Amino acid sequence: MSDWTEKLPEAAQRYIQGRRVDEVECIVSDIAGVARGKAMPAFKFAKQTSFFLPNSIFLQTITGDWADNPTGAFTEPDMIMAPDFSTATAAPWTADVTLQVIHDAIDQTGQPVAAAPRNVLKRVLHLYKQKGWTPIVAPEMEFFLVARNIDPNMPVQPPMGRSGRRAAAKQAYSMSAVDEYGPVIDDIYDFAEAQGFEIDGILQEGGAGQVEINLAHGDPVRLADEIFYFKRLIREAALRHDCFATFMAKPIEGEPGSAMHIHHSVVDTATGQNIFSDAKGAETQAFLHFIAGMQNHLPAVIALLAPYVNSYRRYVPDFAAPINLEWGRDNRTTGLRVPISEPSGRRIENRLAGMDCNPYLGLAASLACGYLGLLEEKMPRPECLGDAYMSADELPYNLGDALDLFAEDEGVREVLGTGFCSVYDSVKRNEYKEFLQVISPWEREHLLLNV
């Protein structure tokens, strides 16, 4: 093997064993979580230690437009893209032998590019590290398998199952419902195994064709990398079977939305002990402070957890989505749930994030709120012991309101980095402005002849 292949993780080395690598995809996540970068022949990749991309990729909106640069200049200087070989993994759906490698974005002075989502998450983790803490997360991914939709004007429909019927709703945890699109699930498992990813479980969620994948807990950057990869993996598996996979927060009218629930715990780096539990296994003050931080600062980061106009369609009553900042033990109606666990596994589940969020930014935003809570040492509101769906709405109703709250929380902006926050605000306000110029079918149906 050449020098660079010796740096690869075990799963990648196993994938290419005895075969010649044809191509390497050098990628980085943009603001939306879309993979940007270059594909190059493996022999060329072996000869270089980095490549260049313009920093304007972090100003690109989900529609392909360009947001205003908050610095005022639009000269598009190059960034240095440095490979992180620990992220190297197979692209097993390709016809040839292809590897993917996530790269870190560095400016020409050697500093991390502030607007790069992976760097934002690393910044938050560094703040934890300075306090002697190591955060642990466990994400849950929800998504829909849907029939191929080639006309954006047509509503999205559930996929056709092996029975010849469309996938049915209200079949949560049904094994037969999962079997309806078993070939897609089989490919997801096969691709994940080839890429070296550990799936904790796959289950049917409440929507028609809605699936949930749980990942084992671990390091936030590694898990954000895996979700970044998983989104492409799942889409590729679906395409093999004549359907689409979508991570939209609310793709089908009348169906539940798709969340990315995030479980958090924090361990003392020196001792490895969960700081949410004391020596006797009881809840600590740090545990309550973390919850208070989530309650006090989550409204300001909803713009990152719910990053599109469609995201706010998920925050509606009676569709199993939290629309509150209450907390409770083993209470799924609360936005902040404390699952049943042993003291060593005590954790807090943030149920507000949508699956449409950039995984790096979703984890960074959620951890930033908990970090601020640990610093501020405030107490949370009393535990919600009943149905939190009955609580007053506490979240912004649309992306514009969410961005206003994001701009006002100085603590959040300091933790995430003011440079990043300015870029994110510019990109999202551009997207929101563009959306407001679109006339919807609802408006044409009900307003054209009636008002």
For 356-384, how does the pLDDT look when each residue is reduced to its tens digit (9 = 90+)? 999 999 999 999 999 999 999 999 999 99
List the beta bridge partners of residue 215.
199
Q: Which of 96-105, 143-152, 372-381 has the lowest mean pLDDT?
A: 143-152
221 token code pair = 């950057």
- Taking the C-alpha atoms of residue 408 and residue 357, their distance in angstroms, rounded to an integer, is 21
What's the whole-number mean pLDDT along residues 264-269? 98
Average pLDDT, the chain: 92
* Contact yes or no for 422/333 (Cβ under 8 A): no
Query: What's the confidence (pLDDT) of residue 224?
Result: 98
In percent, the amount of the chain with pLDDT more than 70 equals 96
Q: Which domains does the chain have, with CATH numbers?
A: 4-113 (3.10.20.70), 124-445 (3.30.590.10)
List phi, psi (to 5°) of 436.
Answer: -65, -15
365 token code pair = 């935003």
Q: Which of 63-72, 98-107, 120-129 has the lowest mean pLDDT?
A: 63-72
Sign of CA pseudo-dihedral 284, 290, 293, 299: negative
For the chain, what is the largest distance between any 2 Cα atoms, rounded to a whole number of angstroms? 72
Query: What's the confidence (pLDDT) of residue 178?
Result: 75
Query: What's the confidence (pLDDT) of residue 309?
Result: 96
What's the whole-number mean pLDDT along residues 74-96? 92
Instruction: Name the residue with higher pLDDT: 176 or 203.
Output: 203
- Taking the C-alpha atoms of residue 106 and residue 50, their distance in angstroms, rounded to an integer, is 10
Helix ranges restricted to H, 68-143: 117-130
Query: What's the confidence (pLDDT) of residue 321?
Result: 73
pLDDT band at 159 (very low <50, low <70, confident <90, very high): confident
Query: What's the confidence (pLDDT) of residue 172?
Result: 64
Please report where in the chains the tokens 């296994």 appear, as a residue. 281
What's the whole-number mean pLDDT along residues 117-138? 98
Contacts with 63 (C-beta within 8 Å, 6 or more apart), sequence order: 431, 434
Instruction: Report the predicted TM-score, pTM, of the whole model to 2 decimal places.
Output: 0.95
Q: What is the pLDDT of residues 217-261, one digit of tens each?
A: 999 999 999 999 999 999 999 999 999 999 999 999 888 899 999
Angstrom CA distances, 321 to 239, 254, 315, 352, 367, stand at: 28, 13, 6, 8, 20
